[in-house]
Amino acid sequence: MPFRPAVSRRLISAALLLIMMAPPLAHAHAILEESFPEPGDSVQAGLVTLRLRFNSRIDLARSRLLLLAADRSQRTLAIQQGGPPDIVGANVELKPGVYTVRWQVLAIDGHLTRGDVRFTVTEP
Ligand SMILES: [Cu+2]
């Protein structure tokens, strides 16, 4: 019967329209809410505990912290385990200079976000 295909086409059109009109799916990708050091901050040389707090739980195993120095050298930092699920942190020994922490984190919604925090390390 030609009637059935016509109805199902109409249903499909209605379903598509509903999908198009629906609000975008709620996302929870990680947005940096707070950091130590803050961007532009100065901290004293020595052992520095870097700390990045996000608006979402982070999959630490799939996240990276890279430390870039002014001489363009870079090192991957060991992310601290066992802390709050929205914190990405690392302990690092720093000499005076300008540094950038380049973070890349995986949030619980499966999306990666990344960003930089630049700060200065001064003589103790
Ligand atoms: Cu997302």
- For 74-83, what is each residue's pLDDT tens digit? 999 999 999 9
Please report whether residue 46 resides in a domain. Answer: yes
Distance, CA 102 to ligand 1 centroid (Å)? 19
Distance, CA 82 to ligand 1 centroid (Å)? 24
Please report whether residue 25 resides in a domain. Answer: no
Q: Residue 13's pLDDT is what? A: 72
- CATH number of the structural domain spanning residue 46: 2.60.40.1220
Distance, CA 67 to ligand 1 centroid (Å)? 25
Q: Is 110 helix (H, G, I), strand (E, B) or coil?
A: coil
Distance, CA 111 to ligand 1 centroid (Å)? 5
Distance, CA 55 to ligand 1 centroid (Å)? 12
Please report whether residue 15 resides in a domain. Answer: no
| Distances 5 to 8, 9, 12, 16, 19 between C-alpha atoms, Å | 5, 6, 10, 16, 21
Residues with a beta carbon under 5 angstroms from ion ligand 1: 27, 29, 109, 111
Task: Kindly tell me if the per-residue pLDDT of 22 is higher than 70.
Answer: no
DSSP symbol at 124:
-
Q: Residue 18's pLDDT is what? A: 61
Overall number of domains in the chain: 1
What's the average model confidence in pLDDT over 57-71?
Answer: 96
Distance, CA 104 to ligand 1 centroid (Å)? 13
Distance, CA 105 to ligand 1 centroid (Å)? 11
* C-beta of residue 100 within 8 angstroms of C-beta of residue 20: no
Q: Which range marks the domain in which residue 74 is found?
A: 32-122
Q: What DSSP string runs through 57-81?
A: -B-GGG-EEEEEETTS-EEEPPPP-
Of the pLDDT bands very low, low, confident and very high (cuts 50, 70, 90), residue 16 is low
